[in-house]
Amino acid sequence: MNSRRRSLVILAGLTALARGARSQPASSTWPSRPLHLVAGGVGSVTDVRARWLGERLGAVFGQPILVENNPAAGGNLAAQHVARAAPDGYTLLLTHQGIATINPHMYANPGFDSLNDFAPVARFGIGMLLLAVPVASPIQSLPDLIARAKAKPGTLNFGSNGNGLPPHLANELFKRMAGIEAVHVPYKGGGELMTGLLGEQVDWAMDGLTTMLPQVRGGKLRALAVTGSQRAPQLPEVPTIAESGVPGYEFIGWAGIAAPARTPAAIVERLNQEINRIATSEEGRRWFFNLGSDPGAVTPAEFATFIRTEYAKWGQVVREAGLKAG
């Protein structure tokens, strides 16, 4: 074989090897280093979920899952960080209803495109809220609350853990569907909200069962209704809002995992399978039940469809309520 022909053969072989290397799925060597999971503030619900999942997912992958906390701007800065990260499966976002489907309508410029900058990976928990009043309140039931609000429009008030956050929007939806007027009192976080509610600074509030249940069982709050389409198994005696005079009302809070857009499908699928397996295990179901929620496991495609539906729903609520966050 002459030298020119030998060079061509070698070149062809190297080209074939390069093509083969490029055709290798991105997940064949993934993960080979630690993953970063960006979540809300330390001690927040999203932080608790991120650390619980990270510990178990890290054991599966043989790589640590490093939780990074960034609560600023209602989660917008965390979302911006992940949206701009390399789409290699090593940077993930603990997303939720607020980030993905409410903030894009509340903020003039959230700094990311919720529907196009992310690859939905896995839904990680769904759960209803509980509407409660201080135990000393004269309001005895949800029909009673609605009647009082209609008799004197704008005289009752409700608290939330922050302007534009999911509990605030759940209340706005309730107001619109019940046909009542009430004043919103935003607090700086769930701790301040609970202090305000227990101190009778507001007439009612909605929050997660994890926060509300201890106060209800301790005799400090009166549970009026839950926001799901069915009663909560933790409080089977408490009716839904829909049962209590507001037909069709439903609010389900949720969280999930998202990756930067264009993350390889093989990586997204593997993450989905492992996260769903962890969430729906016996341990996972018990853990979610104690949080007052359900694993809510779905495929990436189902999660993407769910997000788009929620995006449209909350966009309408925000527009009709005239809400703005900045």
Straight-line distance from the first to the last Cα atom of the chain, in angstroms, rounded to the nearest whole number: 73
Take residue 41 and report the two structure tokens written for it.
């503030």
Residues 6+ apart with CB under 8 A from 258: 82, 92, 93, 95, 100, 118, 119, 120, 121
| Mean pLDDT value across the chain | 90
Residue for token digits 């993930």?
Answer: 92
Q: Output b/e per residue, 144-156; b: 16+ Cβ within 10 A.
A: bbbebbeeeeeeb
| Residue 315 burial (CB count, 10 A) | 15
Where would I find the beta strands (DSSP E) of 248-312? Answer: 253-260
Determine contact, residues 200/134, Cβ cutoff 8 Å.
yes
Mean predicted confidence (pLDDT) in 248-273: 97
Which is higher by pLDDT, 74 or 251? 251
Cα within 13 Å of Cα(247), Cβ side: 0
pLDDT tier for residue 165 given thresholds of 50, 70 and 90: confident
- For residue range 268-304, list pLDDT tens digits in order: 999 999 999 999 999 999 999 988 889 999 999 999 9
- For residue range 302-313, list pLDDT tens digits in order: 999 999 999 999
The helix (H) or strand (E) run that includes residue 308 is helix 300-321
C-alpha dist (Å) from residue 200 to 155, 158, 159, 203: 14, 10, 10, 7
Take residue 279 and report the two structure tokens written for it.
């969430």
- What is the distance between the alpha carbons of residues 318 and 310, in angstroms, rounded to a whole number? 12
Residues 6+ apart with CB under 8 A from 152: none
34 three-state secondary structure: coil
- What is the distance between the alpha carbons of residues 162 and 299, in angstroms, rounded to a whole number? 31
- Is the per-residue pLDDT at 144 higher than 60? yes
DSSP annotation of 294 reads: B
- What is the distance between the alpha carbons of residues 296 and 86, in angstroms, rounded to a whole number? 28
N residues, the chain? 326
DSSP annotation of 243 reads: T
pLDDT > 70 in the chain, percent: 91
The helix (H) or strand (E) run that includes residue 173 is helix 166-178
- For residue range 82-113, list pLDDT tens digits in order: 999 999 999 999 999 999 999 999 999 999 99
- Is the per-residue pLDDT at 8 higher than 50? no
The one-letter amino acid code at 182 reads: A
Mean predicted confidence (pLDDT) in 228-244: 95
- Is the per-residue pLDDT at 13 higher than 90? no
Closest CA to 307 of 70, 103, 10: 103
Query: Cα–Cα–Cα angle for 102, 165, 179, nearest 5°?
Result: 85
Determine contact, residues 245/144, Cβ cutoff 8 Å.
no
